[in-house]
Amino acid sequence: MISVTDLVRNYGTVVAVDKVSTTISKGEIVGLLGHNGAGKTTLMKMLTGFLEPTSGTVTVGGLDVVADRIGVQRQIGYLPENAPLYPEMLVHEYLLMMAELRGLDADAGEKAVSDAARQTGIVEYLGRPIATLSKGYRQRVGIAQAILHRPAVLVLDEPTNGLDPMQIQAIRALIRKLGESTTIILSTHILQEIEAVCERVLIMIDGRLVTDSPLPALLGSDRLVLSVQTADDVAARLRKVAGVGEVKTLGEDPLLPGFQQYAIGSGSASDIVKAAVEAGWTIGSLGREHRTLEQVMKELQDREVARQSGVAA
C-alpha cells in the first residue's frame, strides 16, 4: 500500500527527515512515535503530498507522490494537527464543501456526509455551527472530512491532542473502528495512544527511523523479573546461578511492599527458583519482563546519544 525509500527532507542545513525507508501494508494501524521535532509531521506531509522530499521516493497504491500527487491524495484522508475547520460554518455545510472539493457531485456528497457523520458520531451535530462544538467534537468533524471519499489510507496527526480523558477514549474507539477497513498512520508523542490502538510502531529520533517493529515484539523481553522479600546479597547470589548473566536491581515491587525486584538477563526459571528456595528467600513473583513504551523510548534515546557521541569522538 505505502512504500517509502531513502526519504530525505532538508530545511537549509537542517536534516528534518534522514533516509527513512519503510513499507506499510493494507489494513495496518501503524503508530508514528517520536519527541517533538523528531520529524513525524514532516514525514507525514511528504507521505500526503503536501511537501516534496529533498530526495528519496514515496508511493501510495503504486503511485509516486511526486509524479502523481493528485492521484495519491485521492487515496488518502488527512487530519493535520490543527484541523482546517471554519468556525462560522454549520457542520453540514462544511462537510458538503469538503465533499465538493473531493470531486463528489451533490447526491454523492450528501450520501458521503451522511455516512461520515454516522461513522464519527456527529449526526445530531450536523445543524450546529462548528464554533459551538467542544474540541472533541471538532476533532470528530475533522476526521469526518478526512473519510468523506472513503480513502484507502487515513493519516492522523495528533488526533487527541488537548482532549479530556473521555474525549480521548471516544476518539481512540473511533480510530479502532475505522481501522477495520482502512490503513491508518497515527502520529503522536503520547505513548499511551500507541499502546491503545496500534499494531505496529515506527519510532523516529532526530529525523532518523530507529525502530520499525510490531508492538508486542517491541514491548516483549527475554529478561526475567524476580520479586523477593528484601534480603541481603540477592543480586550477588543470583549471578552465581548457572546460566545467569546480568542481574539488575530494579527497586521495590510496586505491587508488593517490602519486596525487591531484580531483572535477570538470562538463565533458567527453575534454576532461579531453586536458588531462591535454597537461600530462604520469600518469592513474590517470577515472570517475563513486560516493558513499557516509555522504557523503550528511553533505551533508544540513550542509544542514539551514545551513537552520536561515538561519531563526534
Q: Residue for cell digits 473519510?
A: 147
pLDDT digit string, tens, across residues 135-165:
889 989 999 999 999 999 999 988 887 788 8
Q: Tell me, yes or no, if the pTM score tops 0.85.
A: no
Q: Three cell numbers at 155?
A: 493519516
Percentage of the chain beyond pLDDT 70 is 99
Strand partners, 8: 55
Are 287 and 225 in contact by the 8 Å Cβ rule? The answer is yes
pLDDT of 313 reads 41
Give CA–CA dist 157/260, Å, rounded. 41
Cβ-based burial of 301 (10 A; exposed 0-12, middle 13-18, buried ≥19): middle
Which of 260, 236, 241, 235 is CA-nearest to residue 250?
Answer: 260
**By mean pLDDT, which of 37-41, 75-79, 230-234, 305-309 is the weakest?**
305-309
Q: Three cell numbers at 127?
A: 445543524
Across the range 98-114, mean pLDDT stands at 94
| Res 195 pLDDT > 80 | yes
Give CA–CA dist 102/148, Å, rounded. 8
Q: Three cell numbers at 272?
A: 532461579
Cα torsion at 138, 139, 143, 146 (round to 10°)?
70
Residue 221 CB coordination number (10 Å)? 15
Q: What domains can you pick out in the chain, each with its CATH number?
A: 2-215 (3.40.50.300), 224-288 (3.30.70.1340)
pLDDT digit string, tens, across residues 283-295:
999 988 877 888 8
Q: Residue for cell digits 513504551?
A: 293
Give CA–CA dist 154/47, Å, rounded. 11
Q: Are strands 76-79 and 259-264 parallel, antiparallel or unpaired?
A: unpaired
pLDDT digit string, tens, across residues 21-70:
999 998 899 999 988 888 998 999 999 999 999 999 999 999 999 999 99
DSSP strand E in the chain: where? 2-11, 14-24, 29-33, 55-60, 63-64, 76-79, 153-157, 183-188, 200-205, 208-214, 224-229, 247-252, 259-264, 283-288
Q: Three cell numbers at 183?
A: 490503513
pLDDT of 311 reads 56
